[in-house]
Amino acid sequence: MSPKMVDRAERQRSILSASANVFAARGYRNATMDEIAAAAGIAKGTLYLSYDSKEALFFALFESFADTATLEPDALSGHTDALEQIVEVLCAIGAKLDADALIVPLTLEFWSASGVEATGERFGERYRAMLDMFSTQIVGILRSGQQAGTVTQNQPLEAITSSLLAIIDGLIVQRWVNPSLSIEAQLRDALPPLLAGLRP
């Protein structure tokens, strides 16, 4: 990779990092490109060379967060029991949410962008793709559990999976109003008894 490409990639990372702080603190609607350029230590014109609008920058930030949301291999392996694996998968998501103080306020901003007409189609489509990824993984684990005899048959796996992911969404809101709450700890305590009904 040429030095110019490395410099450009580093500049992109710097801009996204700066924008994450500004958007989390100010919100998408109140944040300005001037503030983001200042936070990144670059001229506003330089910022516009990389992103031609605030929406384009916010969407790039959203995509970077969605891309890093992919589950770690360790969370998808190492457990022969499907329901234990589900606990680890969801707790891995919770741990990521706990580890970065910016994720919760940014997630609320991403949701907001997904729910309004001006940005809804673009952001909503990407958000659905991320949910589909998680849903496919979790449903796959549950089906493997059915084949292994550790998950009961004739269960509405898609509805169960949707509800499990909705628990995380609800905990994100709770974390927003109570920053001391650990999403991972809540999931680790609650999921085993909630999932126990799926055992034969």
**How many C-beta neighbours within 10 Å does residue 84 have?**
17
pLDDT value of position 115: 87
Structural domains in the chain, sorted by start: 3-57 (1.10.10.60), 69-198 (1.10.357)
pLDDT value of position 1: 47
pTM for the structure as a whole: 0.86
pLDDT value of position 17: 96
Supply 110's token pair. Answer: 């991403």
| 122-134 per-position pLDDT tens digit | 888 988 999 999 9
DSSP line for 62-129: HHHHHHHTSPPHHHHSS-SSHHHHHHHHHHHHHHHHHH-TTHHHHHHHHHHHHTSHHHHHHHHHHHHH
| 35-88 per-position pLDDT tens digit | 999 999 999 999 999 999 999 999 999 999 888 876 555 655 666 799 999 999
Residue 137 predicted with pLDDT over 50: yes
Question: How far, in whole angstroms, is CA 174 from its chain's centroid?
Answer: 16
Mean of the pLDDT values across residues 172-190? 97
Mean pLDDT of the chain: 91
| 142-173 per-position pLDDT tens digit | 999 999 999 999 999 999 999 999 999 999 99
How does residue 120 score in pLDDT terms, banded at 50, 70 and 90? confident
Burial class (CB in 10 A: 0-12, 13-18, 19+), 48: middle
